[in-house]
Structure 1
Amino acid sequence: MPIIVKPEYHFFICNSYRVGGDAKGVCNKKGATDLLMYLEGEILDRGMDGAVSSTGCLKVCTQGPVMVLYPQAKWFGEVTEEKLDAILDAIEDGEDTSELEIE
């Protein structure tokens, strides 16, 4: 059986996919697809041990685009490129991200 190498950080960005496969919710309309590409690039540029995945609706539409970070179980709302930079900077510096998180 192959060994699975798990990343230190796994970022899940809501892209509002619905049962039929369509991306048509708030997160998608607010640019979640572009955030996926931006985050991928930042992780590579920073040399972080991370993976990025797109998800179906995470049911926090009022705070979209939404991102979840595992295994840390941290939720972030109203994510923009600038907020992603702040989150990644805090992670790299070992700083608390709670001010950037949603409850």
Structure 2
Amino acid sequence: MPRPTKHVFICSQTRPPGHPRGSCAEKGCREVLDEFLFQFQQRQCFDQVAITTTGCLGPCGTGPNVLVYPEGIMYGPVSKDDVSAIFDEHLLGGRPVERLKVPADLW
């Protein structure tokens, strides 16, 4: 199988209730992950995209966060409704989704 050209990291960080930084888990990262996996399977892009869950990516206030490499583009907050745009425009189309990018001063 060829090496994927895009690698998607989805924050799944959990923290105790009331933690000052919050977490992507409490903000709905599971729904986002489930939608990424659904879209991944529907599009059969196994040779183009890799999907990995990860711990904290940094800017907790913008979560759920998704990081795409090799470009190093952070998206957030991402909802399950945004996943199709990330697939169509960025992962398969090569154009970042500007409206979802985390501002440079936060990432």
TM tier relative to shorter chain: 0.7 to 0.9
Number of residue pairs matched?
A: 94
CA offset digits 1:32-56 (Å, max 9, x no partner): 1232122011012112221111111
AA of the residue aligned to 1:8: T
**Structure 1 runs (4+) greater than 3 angstroms displaced:** 93-96
Distance 1:93 1:9 in 2: 11
Overall identity of the aligned pairs, in %: 30
Aligned partner of residue 85 in structure 1, secondary structure: helix
Cα gap change, 1:63 to 1:46, in 2 (>3 Å): same
Aligned partner of residue 37 in structure 2, secondary structure: helix
Counting helix residues as a fraction of each chain, which structure ranks higher?
Answer: 1
* Aligned match for 1:41, one of 38, 41, 61: 38
Q: How does 1:1-103 map to 2 (within 5 A)?
A: 5-16=2-13, 23-24=14-15, 25-48=22-45, 49-91=48-90, 92-103=92-103
TM-score (norm 1): 0.78
* CA root-mean-square deviation: 1.9
Residues 7 and 50 in structure 2, CA contact (< 8 A), matched pair in contact too: yes
TM-score (norm 2): 0.76
Unaligned runs of 5+ in 1: 17-22
CA offset digits 1:51-78 (Å, max 9, x no partner): 1111111121110000000112111001
Counting strand residues as a fraction of each chain, which structure ranks higher?
Answer: 1
Q: Please state how far the C-alpha of 1:5 moved relative to its aligned partner.
A: 4.6
